[in-house]
Amino acid sequence: MEIGGMTLKVDKPPEDRLDVKTVDDQAKHKDGAPIVKKNPRSKTKPLHFWTTADVNKWLRKYGGGLHDKYGELLSQQEITGRTLIRMNEMKLEKIGISKPEHRKDLMQHILRLRLKHEMSDLKNLDQKGFELKLPDSKTKYQSTKDKDSKERIDKL
């Protein structure tokens, strides 16, 4: 390629190095570049970042006939992932899902999704080394009255 009288050489990467997902540090091409492997199970988009299209995709995959009936409704109401996991039966009725059995079925799917999301969050906390520490049973808590009394005695 020539730009402003200068010739630039542009090398195209080999076909097997496109669509980078993971890199195996051990294996290398002859030219020293790492061999790239496609990761069949790449990370999914966090639920809080789901768009209305992502919600519809989820409903189509897991909701069966509910997508045919309510997919367009959820799009019109601009239901995102953040909104979806905060849904309850009353909110579903307010947005236009009038049949109780449909609300119940959809809530079952939403609750499964919410549980999966929360399990993922807990795993992520565990991987980051988060540790929940509870107070020792030996620790005695004083009421404010006890503290005030002790302070008055100490002043004497």
Could you report the per-residue pLDDT of 55-77, keeping only the tens digit for each?
A: 999 999 999 899 999 999 999 99
Residue range(s) defining the domain that contains residue 30: 7-37
Instruction: Centre a 10 Å sphere on the Cβ of residue 29 and count the other Cβ atoms it contains.
Output: 13
78-100: average pLDDT: 95
Number of DSSP helices (H) and strands (E) in the chain, helices first = 6, 4
Q: CA-to-CA distance for 104 and 87, rounded, in angstroms? A: 12
Q: CA-to-CA distance for 116 and 146, rounded, in angstroms? A: 46
82-104: average pLDDT: 95
Q: What confidence tier does 13 reach under pLDDT thresholds 50, 70, 90?
A: very low
Residue 17 lies in a domain: yes
Q: CA-to-CA distance for 71 and 63, rounded, in angstroms? A: 10
pLDDT at 142: 54
Q: What is the pLDDT of residues 124-152, one digit of tens each?
A: 877 777 666 666 666 555 555 555 655 65
Do both 109 and 64 map to the same domain?
Answer: yes
Do both 16 and 83 map to the same domain?
Answer: no
Q: What is the CATH number of the domain that holds 90?
A: 1.10.150.50
The total of structural domains in the chain comes to 2
pLDDT at 153: 59
Do both 63 and 123 map to the same domain?
Answer: yes
- Give the chain's mean pLDDT: 76
109 and 66 Cβ atoms separated by less than 8 Å: yes
73-99: average pLDDT: 95
Residue 138 lies in a domain: no
Q: CA-to-CA distance for 50 and 80, rounded, in angstroms? A: 6
Q: Which two tokens stand for residue 24?
A: 């195996």
* Element housing 71 (H / E): helix 65-76
Give me the long-range contacts of 2-10 (CB less than 8 A, separation at least 24).
none
**How much is the pTM?**
0.55
